[in-house]
Amino acid sequence: MTDLSAEDALRLNVLLAGELHAVRIDEGAMVLYALTPKGEARVSLHPNCRPDLYVMRVRELLGGHALGSPGGYPVHLRRWTRMGHANPKNLEALLKLGEPEAATAVALAPTLDDELARRAWWALPTMEVARYMLGHVAVRQGAMGKVLADFLIEHLPFEENPIQAMNSIRAVIGAGLLDAAASEQLWAKAARRPHYFIGFLEHRPDALPAGTERALPAAVQARALAGDPWAALLERCHAPSGQSFLAATELVLEKPAAHEAVYLLLDILGGYFSALRELEPPADLADLANLSDDWRGEIEAMAALSRLSNAVAVPILTRTTAVGPLMRRHLEPLFVPIIGHIRVLRGVGP
């Protein structure tokens, strides 16, 4: 294989002799960038063979220096680190390889800290990497947390994949890094992009923008206060946030973005009512403020929703790869009854 040009070999070896935090390579411009304690260094590359082969040769040099591996970034290591099993001792070295896949491996590593996140973000500032890194408590609570959250929200309009957009919002809200103004704007935009709601439903089910509160009889409120799970969930559903939760869930069910959104939403919805799982409806329904048939219907709706999980959609979605309107038609037999139960709890017509 062709050696590096003399000029490049000299400059790269000088660079590697100093302290190095991370490397990235712009293959189009044939420029190697290095992050050092003093800032960013730049080395223009001068190929003496095919550019792709030359970049491979550069990465072999970097791999030999960082990992003692003359072959660069081994294939077996790629698979292993992608699964989040990178050796903590190797994380710093992985960022010196100029390999996007290695930077992604660092972002996935369970032992990632705020400083390594800063270096990984310099090496590969993508939405995918930002989402991965916000999954780490140390990063969320560190200086990089807000940087990554702001990036995801700023670039959300350019994310064409609805599932990735959904996951960006989930990452930011799950990290507790969505401020009030951005939260209000996202909630408003979700009316046109219902998959945006899912992050709110997952992480803020009881802290949503207020809907219209539904009144509860005093007897039901008293039983909720005493710890009755049925009365407590009726109170939760009738609260302003509960009505927002139900209305937003209905919108997502009417326009699910893709399989992943369906599975997640059903888990969230079932989880909202999970306190009722394995419980029989109360025998003394009449004691709940002399319940009429309408109230009885709400108890039955909550019982039905408590049994939901992603498993109920598996028999349908494993038989189709359809998305959009065609997927929705496949899901109608499942979703129509669910939406009916939600409307009962919202107090609106069928």
pLDDT in tens, 300-350: 999 999 999 999 999 999 998 888 889 999 999 999 999 999 999 999 876
Instruction: Report the alpha-carbon distance of residue 71 to residue 184 in Å, rounded.
Output: 51
| Average pLDDT value for residue range 264-275 | 97
Structural domain for 283, as ranges: 201-346
**Is 117 part of any domain?**
no
Least confident of 77-91, 145-159, 292-306: 77-91
H helices of 156-258, in order, are: 162-174, 180-189, 197-203, 218-225, 229-238, 240-254
Question: Are 229 and 333 part of one and the same domain?
Answer: yes
The residue among 24, 15, 262 whose CA lies nearest residue 163 is 262
**Is 106 part of any domain?**
yes
Looking at 112, 144, 175, which one is the last position of a domain?
112
pLDDT at 67: 80
Whether the predicted pLDDT of 286 surpasses 80: no
Exposure string over 20-51, b if 16+ CB within 10 A, otherwise e = bbbbbbeeeebebbbbeeeeebebebebeeee
**Is 118 part of any domain?**
no
Question: Are 131 and 92 part of one and the same domain?
Answer: no
| Half-sphere exposure in the Cβ direction for 171 (13 Å, CA) | 28
Question: Are 335 and 241 part of one and the same domain?
Answer: yes
Whether the predicted pLDDT of 48 surpasses 50: yes
Question: Are 241 and 335 part of one and the same domain?
Answer: yes
pLDDT at 293: 54
**Cβ(112)–Cβ(138) below 8 Å:** yes
| Average pLDDT value for residue range 129-157 | 96
**pLDDT band at 273, cuts 50/70/90?**
very high
Question: Are 13 and 69 part of one and the same domain?
Answer: yes
Q: DSSP for 233-260? A: HHHHHHSHHHHHHHHHHHHHHHS--SHH
CA 225 vs CA 206, 229, 231, 233, 235: distances in Å: 17, 10, 8, 11, 10
The residue among 103, 46, 43 whose CA lies nearest residue 73 is 103
**Is 196 part of any domain?**
no
**Helix (H) / strand (E) containing 177:** none
Least confident of 37-46, 133-142, 208-217: 208-217
**Is 78 part of any domain?**
yes
Question: Are 155 and 36 part of one and the same domain?
Answer: no
Tokens standing for residue 324:
């959009």
Least confident of 37-41, 260-264, 286-290: 286-290
pLDDT at 80: 45
pLDDT in tens, 239-258: 999 999 999 999 999 999 99
The residue among 45, 43, 39 whose CA lies nearest residue 19 is 39
**Is 121 part of any domain?**
no
Q: Give strand pairing partners of 42.
A: 33
Question: Are 332 and 205 part of one and the same domain?
Answer: yes
Whether the predicted pLDDT of 133 surpasses 50: yes
**Is 8 part of any domain?**
yes
Sign of the dihedral defined by the CA atoms of residues 126, 132, 138, 142, in that order: positive
Question: Are 168 and 296 part of one and the same domain?
Answer: no
Instruction: Name which residue leads in pLDDT, 2 or 65.
Output: 65
**Cβ(153)–Cβ(172) below 8 Å:** yes
Looking at 112, 147, 165, which one is the last position of a domain?
112
Looking at 160, 189, 218, which one is the last position of a domain?
189
Residue reference for tokens 């010196």: 96
How many structural domains are present in the chain?
Answer: 3
Question: Are 224 and 152 part of one and the same domain?
Answer: no
Question: Are 2 and 51 part of one and the same domain?
Answer: yes
Angle between helices 162-174 and 143-155 (to 10 degrees): 150
Instruction: Name which residue leads in pLDDT, 105 or 31.
Output: 31
- Mean pLDDT, all residues of the chain: 90
Type of residue numbered 261: A
Which residues, 6 or more positions from 266, have their beta carbon under 8 angstroms from its beta carbon? 308, 309, 310, 312, 313
pLDDT at 77: 52
Three-state DSSP state, 173:
helix
Instruction: Report the alpha-carbon distance of residue 270 to residue 341 in Å, rounded.
Output: 12
Whether the predicted pLDDT of 72 surpasses 80: no
Least confident of 68-82, 210-224, 299-313: 68-82
Instruction: Report the alpha-carbon distance of residue 299 to residue 177 in Å, rounded.
Output: 36
Whether the predicted pLDDT of 56 surpasses 60: yes
**Cβ(147)–Cβ(111) below 8 Å:** no
Question: Are 149 and 74 part of one and the same domain?
Answer: no
Instruction: Name which residue leads in pLDDT, 165 or 87.
Output: 165
Residue reference for tokens 């560190």: 142
pLDDT at 170: 97
Q: What is the pTM of this model?
A: 0.86
**Cβ(285)–Cβ(291) below 8 Å:** yes
Question: Are 263 and 333 part of one and the same domain?
Answer: yes
| Average pLDDT value for residue range 191-219 | 92
**Is 120 part of any domain?**
no
Instruction: Report the alpha-carbon distance of residue 153 to residue 22 in Å, rounded.
Output: 26
Instruction: Report the alpha-carbon distance of residue 194 to residue 201 in Å, rounded.
Output: 11
The residue among 65, 129, 50 whose CA lies nearest residue 98 is 65
pLDDT at 284: 56
